[in-house]
Amino acid sequence: MKIIIITQYFWPENFRINDLAVHLVERGHEVIVLTGMPNYPEGRFFPGYGFFKKLRQEYNGVKVFRVPLFPRGSGRGMRLALNYASFALCASFFTPFLYKEKYDLIFVFEPSPITVGLPAIALKKIISAPIMLWVQDLWPESLSATDAVKSQTILNLVSRLVRLIYQGCDKILVTSRAYVTSIEKLGIDSSRISYFPQSVESIYQPLVLELDAPERVIMPEGFRVVFAGNIGAAQDFGTILDAADILKDYTNIHWIIIGDGRLRAWVEAQIQKRKLAKTVHLLGRYPVELMPRFFSLADVLMVTLKRAPIFALTVPGKIQSYMACGKPIIAALDGEGARMIEESGSGIVCPTENSDLLAKAVFKMYQMPAVQRENMGKQGRDYYEANFDQNMLIDRLERWAQELCKKVSYTDI
């Protein structure tokens, strides 16, 4: 098949669509990616890129075409809105001139914003290919939950836009089964919605590091509770810091944060204010290739989200990464993500925004025999292989794509 992927984010930015695109090429498909200039998460263009620099590239057999956009800056307010709008506008404008040949499938990767679907709808009118939309984030619910938008009028307008985009897509894939009901409420028939969870890159697997590995020097000695990912509003770092404060007298328990985000400065200030520098460590952001190595040195991996209806429906992608590496998990989650960890037996779950219970969960893991933690990690790995194996999921995606293309062809006859 000839597949065009539309995504606001792509290599060298670190998103799961990178790996999926390469695997589709390896399976013999021709893949072109329409994307923007890389600027996530720093908020400025990556070195060597600019508004009209490196418009055409290739990445492991994937042809990449980039359109200009405004970088996201601090990731707030008008700057972020301009970032979203500029990609949607430029991609919609340029696609008619760039892709006049026939494609079998338009695949849209939507971690946020939903506006990435607009260029796909514009392209569909020209090449008559079906659209498959992979929804990672529900709008407008996530805008409201993170306080990105407080105006009900704007939220209502966004809801109308979301309905329009969903209605223009031939098949909608969701990373959480709990998303289905929300999408159905916008008038989308359930037959057009399918569960397609995230997998992870093959580098995510259980490892035993060499004794002289540099990561051993970077990580503090002791019982290591590792959080990896975005330091943002949704991740509820207030609860993490409160829990660390409760356990700060246990100086052998170390809370290690690997990642970056717009709340990093606030977290740093709180660590100093609360005198937590001995037990809470901000290591910064590292290449994705190193994450399994850091995970291998963790005693437990942690995932947290704020309390909000949308987050109870969400399965954070880091859960699959954690499970794939065979490490026990502590999760301060509600809803679907919590259910997955409990079902797999891969860790301990506590409610969101409850620092006392999070601290108790960490302390329970701390006191637990190592063999019991290892068994949790193994159960998580087994669950990953049964439910999120990459080859199994891509087989499923190919089958859906072929069925969709045949259905559209029959309709055209």
- Where in the chain are the domains? 2-199+389-412, 214-387
pLDDT tens-digit series, residues 110-168: 998 999 999 999 999 888 899 999 999 888 888 877 766 777 888 889 889 999 999 99
pLDDT tens-digit series, residues 383-395: 999 999 999 999 9
- Residue 100: its pLDDT value, please? 63
Mean pLDDT score, 342-364 = 97
Structure tokens at 16: 């799961």
Residue scoring higher pLDDT (242 or 144): 242
- Residue 142: its pLDDT value, please? 80
Containing 379, the helix (H) or strand (E) segment is helix 370-387
% of the chain beyond a pLDDT of 70: 97
Residue 101 clears pLDDT 60, i.e. is over it? yes
For 214-387, CATH gives 3.40.50.2000
- Residue 410: its pLDDT value, please? 45
- Residue 98: its pLDDT value, please? 62
- Residue 226: its pLDDT value, please? 98
Residue 41, preceding bond cis, omega within 30 degrees?
yes
> Position of tokens 């090449």?
127
Mean pLDDT score, 44-55 = 92
Mean pLDDT score, 170-181 = 94
Residue 76 clears pLDDT 80, i.e. is over it? no
pLDDT tens-digit series, residues 298-322: 999 999 999 988 889 989 989 999 9
CA dihedral over 157, 158, 163, 164, signed as positive or negative:
positive
Query: Residues 288, 63, 138, CA angle at the centre, nearest 5°?
Result: 60
Residue 95 clears pLDDT 80, i.e. is over it? no
Q: How confident is the model at residue 408 (pLDDT cuts 50, 70, 90)?
A: low
Is 214-387 the same fold as 2-199+389-412?
A: yes
- Residue 99: its pLDDT value, please? 59
Mean pLDDT score, 341-350 = 97
Mean pLDDT score, 375-388 = 97
Distance CA 203, CA 163 (A): 37
Residues in contact with 241: Cβ distance below 8 Å, sequence separation at least 6, in sequence order: 267, 270, 271, 274, 276, 280
Residue 140, preceding bond cis, omega within 30 degrees?
yes
Mean pLDDT score, 321-333 = 97
The pLDDT mean for the chain works out to 92
Mean pLDDT score, 72-97 = 87
- Residue 261: its pLDDT value, please? 87
The answer to whether the beta carbons of residues 142 and 158 sit under 8 Å apart is no
pLDDT tens-digit series, residues 249-299: 999 999 999 999 889 999 999 999 999 999 999 999 999 999 999 999 999
- Residue 411: its pLDDT value, please? 47
Residues in contact with 194: Cβ distance below 8 Å, sequence separation at least 6, in sequence order: 171, 172, 173, 174, 400
Q: From start to end of 113-220, where are the E strands? A: 131-135, 171-174, 193-195
Mean pLDDT score, 391-402 = 94
Task: In the chain, count H helices and then E strands.
Answer: 16, 14
For 2-199+389-412, CATH gives 3.40.50.2000
Q: Which residues of 192-211 are buried (b: 16+ CB within 10 A; e: fewer)?
A: bbeebbbbbbebbeebeeee
Distance CA 98, CA 75 (A): 29
- Residue 207: its pLDDT value, please? 95
The answer to whether the beta carbons of residues 146 and 121 sit under 8 Å apart is no
pLDDT tens-digit series, residues 187-230: 999 999 999 999 998 899 999 999 999 999 999 999 999 999 99
Mean pLDDT score, 98-111 = 85
Distance CA 213, CA 218 (A): 10
- Residue 243: its pLDDT value, please? 98
